[in-house]
Amino acid sequence: MATATAKDVDRAVVSARRAFDDGRWSGLAPAARKKVLHRIADKIEAEALALTVLGVRDNGTEFNMALKAEAGSAAGTFRYYAEALDKVAGEVAPTAPDVLGLVHRAPVGVVGAIVPWNFPLMIGAWKLAPALAMGNSVVLKPAETASLSLLRLAEICADCGLPDGVLNVVTGPGAVTGAALSEHMDVDVMVFTGSGATGRRLLVASARSNLKRCYLELGGKSPNIVFADAKDLDHVAKVSAMGIFRNSGQVCVAGSRLLVEASIHEEFVARVVAHAQALRVGDPLDMNTQIGAVNSETQLAANLAHVERAAAQGGEVLCGGGRILSETGGTYMAPTVVAGVTQDADLFQKEVFGPVLSVTAFESEDEALRLANATDYGLAAGVWSQDLSRAHRCVAGIRAGVVHVNTYGGADNTVPLGGVGQSGNGHDKSLHALEKYVDLKTAWIQL
C-alpha cells in the first residue's frame, strides 16, 4: 500500500477545505445529503459480499462474522445517520422579552479520521457517516494493513453522488501519514480508534498545532463478572468464550478479564475451556471457520509474548497458548485461557488484543467490583446474575462506558459506544456522536 507523505496529506486537506468552504456539500439542504447517504447504504448492501472478501483478505476476520459486522453494520450506520441528520435542530434560549437567543449547530469543517485494522469498514462508517451527515469534509486514513475495503467505500461514496473533495483517503503508516494528518494546521477535529500510545501522540500533535479537538477510543481490558447465581452456566460460558475469542480477540470491547465467583470457579472455568477448545480456527474464507487469523506476524508475536509473561508471573495456561496451523503460512493462534491471574499481573492490567482470556476468582460482590475497576481502562464490562438489584448495583459501580447484563457484546446504532479513563473520550454511534462533528454558535438578536 502506498505511503502518503506530508505533502500528499496537505493536498488532501486542501481539497477537503476547498470542498467545505464552497458549500458543495456543507451548503446542501439536509434532505439532499440524506438522499446521498441512503444511496451509499444501498450500494454497500449491494456489494456486501465483495466488500467482505476485501476485508477478510486484509485482516483475517472470519467471513460470516465480517459479513454482518463489517458490510452489514456499515450500511446500517449510513442509513441511521441519513435518517438522523434532518432531526438535528437548533434551539431558542429563554433570554429576555426583547431578545432572541438562537443556538445553531454548524459543521466543524475538516475532520481527520484514523481507523484501525480490526473492523475497518464498520469503524470507518462510525466516523464517516455522522461527519458527512452534519455537512463536514473528511480526510480518512485507514490502517496500513487493512485499507482495501475503505478505499472501495470511498469509490462507492463518489459513485453515489458525494461531491469531489468531500471525502479524501490517504494511506500509509501512522508514524508518517497519521502524524502529518494529526499535525496539520487546517484539520479542525481528529477522531481516532486505536492504541493508547497513539492516542497520546494525537493529543501532543493537537497541542503542537492548532489545538484541534481530539476524540479517542483507545481500547480496554474489559471485565466479565460471573456470579454463582447466574442462570445456565453452560450458556454463560459459551457467550463468555465468544466475548473474548471472536475475531481472534481483536475487539475493543472484548471481555478479556473473566472474574468468577469462587464457589463455581472450577466448574465454570472448565466449561469455558471446553468451549474454547471446541472453536474451529482456520481459513477465514471457509464457511465452517468460527475464528479467523490474527492480523499480522507482529500482533501474533505480541500475543504469544503476553502468554509467556503471564505464565512466568504465576498464571496457569489451561488451553491454547501457542501458534497453530503454521503449515498454512497463516497467523493463527489457539484460543487461550490463563487461570490464577492476580491483580498485579500484566495479563490482568494490559490489553493484549488477541485470543487470550485471563481468569481471576472473587469471594464477594464488593471484591468483584474492586477487581473490575482495578485497571486504567473503562470501555466495557459484563455482569451475569439473576439478582436484579445486584445487577443494578454493578451497572452503577463499574467504571465503563458499556455494561452488559446477562449477555456480552450487544450493540446497536441507537446507543453510544465510548469509554472512560484510558479507554478514551467521546462516543461513536447514536445521536450523541453527532455532537463531535458540530460547533455550537449563538446568535443574540435584539428585537
In DSSP notation, 64-97 reads: HHHIIIIIIHHHHHHHHHHHHGGG---EEEEEET
In the chain, the number of structural domains is 2
Are 196 and 87 in a shared domain? yes
Nearest to 132, CA basis, from 74, 47, 176, 92 = 74
> Residue 245 is placed in which grid cell?
475469542
Are 253 and 200 in a shared domain? no
Rounded to whole angstroms, the Cα distance separating 177 from 170 reads: 7
Q: Residues 70, 217, 261, 351: which is the catalytic one?
A: 217
Helix or strand run (H / E) with residue 216: strand 213-217
Are 107 and 210 in a shared domain? yes
Asked if residue 317 lies in contact with residue 309, where contact means CB atoms within 8 angstroms, the answer is no
Asked if residue 292 lies in contact with residue 248, where contact means CB atoms within 8 angstroms, the answer is yes
> Which strands form 99-107's sheet, in the order they lie side by side?
91-96, 99-107, 438-446
Residue 274 has a pLDDT of 99
Are 400 and 293 in a shared domain? yes
Q: What mean pLDDT is predicted for residues 219-233?
A: 97
327 in any annotated domain: yes
DSSP, res 163: P
416 in any annotated domain: no
pLDDT tens-place string over residues 237-254? 999 999 999 999 999 999
Are 114 and 13 in a shared domain? yes
Q: What mean pLDDT is predicted for residues 5-26?
A: 99
Mean pLDDT for the chain overall? 98
pLDDT tens-place string over residues 86-145? 999 999 999 999 999 999 999 999 999 999 999 999 999 999 999 999 999 999 999 999
Q: Residues 252, 261, 351, 394: which is the catalytic one?
A: 252
**Chain centre to alpha carbon of residue 38:** 23
395 in any annotated domain: yes
Rounded to whole angstroms, the Cα distance separating 234 from 341 reads: 22
Query: How does residue 290 score in pLDDT terms, banded at 50, 70 and 90?
Result: very high
Are 229 and 172 in a shared domain? no
Q: Which amino acid is at 17?
A: R
Residue 378 has a pLDDT of 98
Query: Does 429 score more than 90 pLDDT?
Result: yes
38 in any annotated domain: yes
Residue 338 has a pLDDT of 99
234 in any annotated domain: yes
Question: Using N-to-C axis directions, what is the helix angle for 120-133 and 148-159, rounded to 10°?
Answer: 30
Residue 414 has a pLDDT of 97
- Cβ neighbors of 305 (< 8 A, separation 6 or more) are none
Are 43 and 191 in a shared domain? yes
pLDDT tens-place string over residues 324-353? 999 999 999 999 999 999 999 999 999 999
Domain holding 19, by residue range, is 6-218+424-446
Rounded to whole angstroms, the Cα distance separating 26 from 395 reads: 40
Rounded to whole angstroms, the Cα distance separating 313 from 310 reads: 5
Rounded to whole angstroms, the Cα distance separating 239 from 233 reads: 10
Q: What mean pLDDT is predicted for residues 56-85?
A: 96
Residue 116 has a pLDDT of 97
Residue 417 has a pLDDT of 97
Query: How does residue 1 score in pLDDT terms, banded at 50, 70 and 90?
Result: confident
Are 205 and 271 in a shared domain? no
Are 38 and 164 in a shared domain? yes
CATH number for the domain harbouring residue 366: 3.40.309.10
Are 185 and 269 in a shared domain? no
> Residue 215 is placed in which grid cell?
476524540
Sort strands 438-446 and 99-107 into parallel, antiparallel or unpaired: antiparallel
For a pLDDT cut of 70, what percent of the chain falls above it? 100
- Cβ neighbors of 34 (< 8 A, separation 6 or more) are 82, 83, 85, 86
410 in any annotated domain: no
Q: Which amino acid is at 98?
A: D
Helix or strand run (H / E) with residue 224: strand 223-226
Q: What mean pLDDT is predicted for residues 390-415?
A: 97
354 in any annotated domain: yes
Asked if residue 419 lies in contact with residue 381, where contact means CB atoms within 8 angstroms, the answer is no
- Cβ neighbors of 98 (< 8 A, separation 6 or more) are 446, 447
390: how many CB neighbours lie within 10 A of its CB? 17
Is residue 217 part of the annotated active site? The answer reads: yes
1 in any annotated domain: no
Residue 431 has a pLDDT of 97
Residue 103 has a pLDDT of 97
| Region class of 54: left (phi > 0), else alpha (psi between -120 and 50), else beta | alpha
pLDDT tens-place string over residues 256-286? 999 999 999 999 999 999 999 999 999 999 9
Cα R_g (the chain), whole angstroms: 23
Widest CA span in the chain: 79
Are 253 and 383 in a shared domain? yes
User: What pTM, to 2 d.p., does this model score?
Assistant: 0.96
Query: Does 181 score more than 90 pLDDT?
Result: yes
Q: What mean pLDDT is predicted for residues 47-71?
A: 95
Are 261 and 350 in a shared domain? yes
CATH number for the domain harbouring residue 161: 3.40.605.10
